[in-house]
Amino acid sequence: MHGSATLADMDGGWKQIMEQYLEAFFLFFFPKVHALIDFGQEHPFLDQELAAVFPGTRSRSHRVDKLLAARRRDQAASRILLHVEVQARRDSNFARRMFDYNYRIGAPYGQPVSSMALLVDGNRGFRPDRYFEDTIDCSTEFKFRVVKLLDFKSEQELLADLNPLAFASLVQLTKLRVGQRMGHRFREKVALVRELCRRNYSRDDVQKLFCFMDHIITLPEALAGPFRNEVAKIEEEAIMPYLSTYELKAKEEGRQEGHQEGREEGMRQGIVDAVRQALEVRFGRVPQTLLESIQRCESADQLRAFHKQVLTVGSLDDLQF
């Protein structure tokens, strides 16, 4: 299997999905750990503390690591630190790094640290689960929990499992399987959208998982428009008016900028672009006056309703805007 990780994969993908679905993440990948942790309590992420372990030396393009403080179910007053790393590329120094982090995280806190790793790369031979060092009469052995996504669960098991992390796993495995074959990637991404709709998740879950998929499985600009059109068709077939790729991206960019006006305008323009694309695909030439009216429209709800019209009417003359 092929496929390389990017910073967007890890920050916008696995980092975000872990934060959004923390309990589901542990239940799916590390059920024994999940059984010991009281998820009824808050578990703060200690990102700044983790960054301070190796300041200024971390290349994060192919990995995500998170540190959180958790409470055990069986010992309410007992706090444990959980260090989780998601690794997307073979790294000969991986086991040593896991050892270094475990030691250097635990030392200042004087608390136990449980380290675990999710390997989402495509190299079947890469599955380190321990670090061993032997010097004269002194030896050190450090073992940590490892899940290798490639052989964690079969595709049939993932399709039958409604845990959001099962869908996230399907997305990552699809990326590894299709590699850089863009036509194949396009078809598989459309199939994943259909699978996402089939799962009857909440609107919020669909949006989060769609964003994850869009970060992990990217398409060239030449295929981005056709993909948006396919998403619109699927939404219409499923009677599920979820946000299109453009709209989701505009919303995310607006959120990152932190400006309410930018978010709203970005979302509105995203819907305008989706409407224009749908018009061109269905009817070819579109009157300039109609395009100008669409561009001037300030109501996102009105634009969404018109988008649905475009997908369902028989001819351009039947449109009412």
Q: Which of 308, 224, 299, 232 is nearest to 268 (CA)?
A: 299
Tens of pLDDT, residue by residue over 197-231, are 888 888 889 889 998 998 899 999 889 888 888 88
Q: What Å distances lie between residue 182 and 39, 88, 231, 248, CA to CA?
A: 41, 20, 17, 22
Give percent above pLDDT 90 in the chain: 40
Band of pLDDT at residue 240, cut at 50, 70 and 90: low
Report the alpha-carbon distance of residue 60 to residue 51 in Å, rounded: 11
* DSSP three-state, residue 92: coil
Report the alpha-carbon distance of residue 233 to residue 228 in Å, rounded: 9
Q: Is the pLDDT of residue 44 over 70?
A: yes
Tokens 């769609």 — which residue? 210
Pairing state of beta strands 63-71 and 79-87?
antiparallel
Cα angle 166-185-91, degrees, rounded to a multiple of 5: 65
Report the alpha-carbon distance of residue 142 to residue 117 in Å, rounded: 13
pTM for the whole thing?
Answer: 0.72
Q: Is the pLDDT of residue 2 over 50?
A: no
Check residue 184 and give its pLDDT. 92
Q: Is the pLDDT of residue 85 over 90?
A: yes
Range of lowest pLDDT (27-41, 48-62, 138-152, 237-251): 237-251
Instruction: With beta carbons less than 8 A apart as the criterion, state whether 43 and 60 touch.
Output: no
